[in-house]
Structure 1
Amino acid sequence: MAMIEGLAQFIQHPASMDRKVRELCIRSILDTMGAMVLGSRTPVVNRALKLMPLSGRATVAGVGQGFGARDAAFLNGVSGHELELDDTSSSNLGHPTVAVLPTLLALGEEQDCSGADLLQAFAVATEVECKLGRVCARALHERGWHASSVTGVVGAAAGAAYLLGLNREQIENCLGLAASMASGVRENFGTDAKSVHIGKAAADGVLAALLAREGYTASHTALDGKEGYLYEYTGQRFAPLPGEWYRGLGQPYDIASPGFAIKQYPSCSSTHRAVDAFVDLDRAHHLQAEDIAEIRVELSAAALRELVTPDPKTGDEAKFSVGFQIALYLTGRDNMPANYAPAIIFRPEIQHIIGVTRLYHAERYDGLPVDMGVGPAFVSVTLRDGREYHTERIYPVGHLTDPISDRALEEKFLRCTAPVLGEARGQDLYRMLRDLECTSVAALMRQTLPI
């Protein structure tokens, strides 16, 4: 069986979702919607808005209505990812929700879908992108692709195909079209282009599904054929996959095992384990910035490939600096986007911590099972008086093994939405998302707009 055929079968007849899967889907949708609303006020979104005509019925969260579905998906994808507040997945070594949710919101609004439809489409979309990621994300990562967008566009197309009710042939063509739309190079990390990767993946998910509905064709071996997606993007041959792989779709859903991680900090996920490990050490030993001689951070090759700007000069670069994240914590500053600015980065106390934080390659963390993502972080702190402390973080706070509470998730959501919507409207949006299956996508999107 070709991969596209197996995926299409799942998309038409997805596995049932139990209560745990539904709750996890709602948490991820809710979390990313908060990031989307706050991200709508960023300069990168404001610049993109100048290029997007009002030509449809879709909503850009925090901005307004009347956009075409593709443009709304693009803008919501950019805004949802721009501040690095969106969740992550070890299976696709990237961001599962933000690459697909904007597609589903745009089409769901245009198609007048229910919240229940959205929830099922989201489960389908993330399952396809993450199970595909389990096959190829590591190889994509090694070759310098942004795995979030390369697997994300296929997931977005899958969710769109489900929402539109495409038939089997149309679904297969939709996935084949999406295979030719994948893109995003990691060399662009630390710049505006990283968020464009996600916006493009979401917009192309819309386009692939609409083209397929209109009768556009694509190869049914576009994913795993001789010159298909898997080989061309990874340089490796994965086909044929065993039948167990296809039967494993939704059994269990990837969002439940190994699960997604909801972020505490607006920074690259490869910084999080290291920062959490440092926090663990501080809570045990009450560290003071002026006493620290060195912070040694040992990471896998995969994590180090993402941390491209350890000595940041801009807010975008600071998202990829472990030293900057630790410096915010040590100096008592809020780790939220407002502090990702040169005025903070170049303060002497911040520069001191950045300067004593050093990253090292730990070969023991390479090649671990895919469930572990980029692998653990081992952090050692050496004080000026010679004392040393060290610890290891296997998973970050926010992972299913160490989840953030519902209260903490609500607080994060309101901190993201209140500056744009106001406290009361943000709370109403939160309640609507918590009760997602009892609303419509159109009503949900109206609630994302300031009065």
Structure 2
Amino acid sequence: MRRKDGMTATHIEGSFTNRLVDDVQAIARAGLSEADLTRTKAALIDYLGVALAGTSEESARIARGFVEAEGGHPRSTLIGTATKTSMSQASLVNSIAAHALDLDDTSIFVGGHATSVIMPAALAVGEALGSTGQDILVAYSAGVHAMSVVGLATGAESYARGFHNTGTVGVFGSAVAAGVLARLDDDAMRRALSLAATQASGLKAVFGTMGKHLNAGRAAANGVFAAFAAKEGFSAPDDGIEAPRGYQWTHSDRLDVDRVDRELAGRSGISGVVAKRHACCHGTHSAVESIRAAKALRDFADDEIVSVVLTARPIVRGTCDIPAPVTGLEGKFSLRYVSALALAGEPTTSEGFTDEKTRDPRLVALRDKVSVQVAEGMSFGETRVSVALVDGTRIDTNVNAISAVEDPDLDAHLEAMSLKFADLADPLIGADRAARVVAVARDFENVASCDELNGLLTVE
């Protein structure tokens, strides 16, 4: 199809939204395979930990204060509290909390954060409607699939334009998750997706500030509105993604259906969700692991380092290459600063990303020895590291820290997420309650509602 301005795109008129609706409704009807059920429960546990820990972050505190002052029909719980508000407001606040630490998972299919947008919406709507744990997990998985399909079809070009896929693509995921729980028929689901499309927003310009957290929060809340507005008959076109002047044309240059088929290869979108080990942009994680691998080969001191050269994909420019961060939030998007933390053996948890840490003389000195260059043809997530030492030694490492969990490794992944939750939650709710949360979440497909889970998560 050719645009009016002469640009071309892979696009079959009227088919994309219909196909997407068929896919997500099929997931809603069929439920989850054993492997995908494990993936969803691992994602739930990961979300609960990062969101609970994120409640003390300034962005979450401000959002929670605003919502509490505004009020709302008390249907859905603000995580970590006994306060209830409307579905959309709870989705907003809980999503901001989940994204605040930048410790939330990402999707390799989207190039953005999935669970911190979709799970808050699914839980908020599920609580309000009295949905079972199984219903919530299925709705979440359908939402991740929708986000993955739209992200694969449009995301790379959209991200290059300056859009933040977590916000722009995430709204489709939250709309589908809410729509599945609300039992939307095909016509209403198509309209919900178009209403999501017209609300799709989020800019990379706000990276390194609380504005990035808002991108996730608005995607969660806007998707909930889209689903319930569609349910009540709110009119919208049935092809707002692919229509002329629709999402495809405004946010990207193409709707690459072939890429969707090639990358998913018959898998569900949940198979592309990757958890984080470090509280910073996922684009920095391979640098951390590669530097740690270099240190394992030789435990060199600071004064032995002449230079550290990072080679990454071009996408890091404008994403995670803030050269000299002066705030903790900026540090999360600085390959040079994150590398300094790894070189110094400092933690890459939230403790490593404070305003004070970014100005630490030792870390600044190490940061200034790090340079970043880009190269085409590198794999997703890859960062090569070359450390030059004063004695002439050069240590080259290349550890790709961003890869999906394969089926044989799912049990170990579920255990890892349980341990991650304990690390984050034990200081807030105590080890006994934290262990109970994990037990409930690991059996979530058999629970009648999310009431017990919400009660256990209340920080006293």
TM-score (norm 2): 0.90
User: Residues 328 and 350 of structure 1 are in contact (CA less than 8 Å); yes or no, is this contact kept in structure 2?
Assistant: yes
How much does 1:62 deviate? 1.1
* Aligned pair partner of 1:400 in 399, 405, 409: 405
Which residue in 2 is equivalent to 1:445? 454
The code of the aligned residue for 1:396 comes to: A
Mapped partners of 1:58, 1:362: distance in 2? 47
How much does 1:178 deviate? 0.4
User: Residues 29 and 101 of structure 1 are in contact (CA less than 8 Å); yes or no, is this contact kept in structure 2?
Assistant: yes
What is the aligned length? 438
The code of the aligned residue for 2:458 comes to: L
Secondary structure of the structure 2 residue equivalent to 1:359: strand
* Aligned pair partner of 1:362 in 354, 370, 375: 375
How much does 1:5 deviate? 1.6
Q: 1:348 to 1:399 in 2, by over 3 A?
A: farther
Mapped partners of 1:425, 1:205: distance in 2? 32
User: Residues 144 and 185 of structure 1 are in contact (CA less than 8 Å); yes or no, is this contact kept in structure 2?
Assistant: yes
User: After the TM superposition, which residues 27-66 of structure 1 pair with which residues of structure 2 at under 5 Å, given as runs?
Assistant: 27-52=42-67, 53-55=70-72, 56-66=74-84
- What's the % identity of the aligned pairs? 26
Mapped partners of 1:405, 1:28: distance in 2? 10
User: After the TM superposition, which residues 6-85 of structure 1 pair with which residues of structure 2 at under 5 Å, given as runs?
Assistant: 6-14=19-27, 16-52=31-67, 53-55=70-72, 56-85=74-103
How much does 1:419 deviate? 2.7
Unaligned runs of 5+ in 2: 1-13
Mapped partners of 2:330, 2:291: distance in 1? 21
**Segment of structure 1 superposing worse, 297-306 or 336-345:** 336-345
Mapped partners of 1:433, 1:449: distance in 2? 15
Deviation digits for residues 59-112 of structure 1 (CA, Å, limit 9, x no counterpart): 111133221111100000100001001011121111111111111111000001
Mapped partners of 1:364, 1:168: distance in 2? 40
* Aligned pair partner of 2:360 in 327, 334, 347: 347
Q: 1:390 to 1:127 in 2, by over 3 A?
A: same
Q: Does 1:427 align with 2:438?
A: no
The code of the aligned residue for 2:314 comes to: A
Mapped partners of 2:397, 2:438: distance in 1? 36
Which residue in 1 is equivalent to 2:9? none
Secondary structure of the structure 2 residue equivalent to 1:353: helix
How much does 1:322 deviate? 2.2
User: Residues 107 and 148 of structure 2 are in contact (CA less than 8 Å); yes or no, is this contact kept in structure 1?
Assistant: yes
Mapped partners of 2:260, 2:435: distance in 1? 41
Q: 1:104 to 1:247 in 2, by over 3 A?
A: farther
Mapped partners of 2:351, 2:383: distance in 1? 27
Mapped partners of 1:132, 1:176: distance in 2? 12
User: Residues 321 and 336 of structure 2 are in contact (CA less than 8 Å); yes or no, is this contact kept in structure 1?
Assistant: no
Q: Does 1:147 align with 2:165?
A: yes
User: Residues 327 and 356 of structure 2 are in contact (CA less than 8 Å); yes or no, is this contact kept in structure 1?
Assistant: no
Secondary structure of the structure 2 residue equivalent to 1:61: coil
Mapped partners of 1:363, 1:30: distance in 2? 36
How much does 1:16 deviate? 4.5
Q: 1:294 to 1:245 in 2, by over 3 A?
A: closer
**Segment of structure 1 superposing worse, 161-170 or 342-351:** 342-351
User: Residues 405 and 413 of structure 2 are in contact (CA less than 8 Å); yes or no, is this contact kept in structure 1?
Assistant: no
Secondary structure of the structure 2 residue equivalent to 1:64: coil
**Segment of structure 1 superposing worse, 289-298 or 395-404:** 395-404
How much does 1:220 deviate? 1.0
How much does 1:161 deviate? 0.6
User: After the TM superposition, which residues 102-113 of structure 1 pair with which residues of structure 2 at under 5 Å, given as runs?
Assistant: 102-113=120-131
Q: Does 1:413 align with 2:426?
A: no
Mapped partners of 1:248, 1:118: distance in 2? 26
**Segment of structure 1 superposing worse, 91-100 or 402-411:** 402-411
Q: 1:406 to 1:390 in 2, by over 3 A?
A: same
Cα-Cα RMSD? 2.1
Secondary structure of the structure 1 residue equivalent to 2:384: strand
Secondary structure of the structure 2 residue equivalent to 1:360: strand
